[in-house]
Amino acid sequence: MSTQKIAVVTGAGSGIGRAVAVELAASGWSVALAGRRAQPLAETAELAGGDTLPVPTDVSDPASVTALFATVQDHYGRLDLLFNNAGTFGPGGTPTEELTHADWQSVVNVNITGAFLCAQAAYRRMKSQSPQGGRIINNGSISAHAPRPHSIAYTTTKHAMTGLTKSLSLDGRPYGIAVGQIDIGNAATDMTARMRTGILQANGELAVEPVMDVRDVARTVRHMADLPPAANIPFATVMATNMPYVGRG
């Protein structure tokens, strides 16, 4: 029986997804790289080395998600880990009353529907394979606990991610499917570049916020992924030490 561990990482073309894919590949995982654009996935594969499989995917499209997991099954024969990472913030700084329905829906389609579709497909593979089981790690956010100003779509979807994680964890018990969530605060990626120049605070002021190395997030995901089947981390928070989250800022 092969001992090779197989992972799917969504949103693998940049940021946290790329860092996690590189970390997993470096520690011996085979990694299917999912993302909308082929070129960034190819760049991730080159950075990661090891056994990687770029699969261009739109996680909000059921047919595209089905094709992703069918490709992984055909190529590797099983699935041990899904890092459910793909996400979008949407138009930043838009007040609630000005957010368009289209912008709201685009965030919901990726952050909630996309996460559900990928988890559902992973469930089907993990339930039917032998040996049965696997692990899903959802990318939540500090925004799953507390919002930033003018972030209603992103914050709502990240609160929903917590409910998704809990339901998946409960439903996965009979099949050996462990489910956890990592809530990340201020990892240094393109998505958080504005935090280094000044971002709106709850009191209406602009302030520069500390960030942390994205590789520290990747190492935490790898630790969660490498746990034995009998152990799980339901929720983990990894954040820049001095970011304004704990207490009053």
Q: What is the pLDDT of residue 183?
A: 96
The answer to whether the peptide bond before residue 149 is cis (omega within 30 degrees of 0) is: no
Strand partners, 31: 7, 52
- Active-site positions read 154
Q: Is residue 244 part of a domain?
A: no
Q: Is residue 233 part of a domain?
A: yes
CA dist., res. 81 & res. 213, Å (int)? 23
Q: Is residue 246 part of a domain?
A: no
The CATH number given to whatever domain includes residue 172 is 3.40.50.720
Domain that holds residue 126: 6-239
CA dist., res. 140 & res. 51, Å (int)? 27
Structurally, the chain folds into a number of domains equal to 1
pLDDT tens-digit map of 55-100: 999 999 999 999 999 999 999 999 999 999 999 988 877 899 999 9
User: Quick one: residue 28, left, alpha or beta (phi over 0 = left, psi -120 to 50 = alpha)?
Assistant: left
CB atoms within 10 A of CB 67: 16
Residue 42 in tokens: 């190819």
Q: Is residue 1 part of a domain?
A: no
Q: Is residue 247 part of a domain?
A: no
Q: Which residues of the chain have pLDDT under 70?
A: 1-2, 248-249
* Helix, coil or strand: residue 112: helix
Q: Is residue 245 part of a domain?
A: no
Is the whole-model pTM more than 0.85? yes
Q: What is the pLDDT of residue 199?
A: 85
CA dist., res. 61 & res. 81, Å (int)? 21
Q: What is the pLDDT of residue 197?
A: 83
pLDDT tens-digit map of 191-218: 777 777 888 888 888 888 889 999 999 9
